[in-house]
Amino acid sequence: MADNVDTLGSKTGSVAPMEMTRQSMRNLLAAGILMAAGCGHGPRSVSDPNPANKIPAIETAVDRHDTRAIPQLVKDLNNDDPAIRFYAIEGLRKLTGQDFGYRYYDDDDQRKPAVARWNRWLASQR
């Protein structure tokens, strides 16, 4: 039995050229699905605006006790997304042992005094 040759001139063994093309298409489709599902993200950063990247980055920074994340976590106390605010204050509590009366679920005006305390604390750390 003779070997088949694909459209690029490579031997494909006993697989017909069309089968090789179908398999390649399946592989490309599978890779695209995995990337769309989040398996192809780049490095995560606490400054990333995308919560899908930011939240895991906060968790990683806290797990590593990376205090370089603290300034961004203080900024995130004013984030519009309550989930981001939740992870920011939880991270700050774990990293500093403080919460300064901050509650992520309070409205903007109610959070303002605690955020000011956090900013004063941050300024005193520099």
Distances, alpha carbon 61 to alpha carbons 15, 29, 57, in Å: 50, 34, 6
SS3 36: helix
Give the pLDDT confidence of 11-66 residue by residue, as tens digits: 555 555 555 566 655 655 555 554 444 555 556 899 999 999 999 999 999 999 99
SS3 105: coil
Place of tokens 């956090």: 118
Instruction: Look up the pTM and report it.
Output: 0.67
Give the pLDDT confidence of 73-119 residue by residue, as tens digits: 999 999 999 999 999 999 999 999 999 999 999 999 999 999 999 99
d(CA 5, CA 9): 5
For 5, the token pair is 């040759």
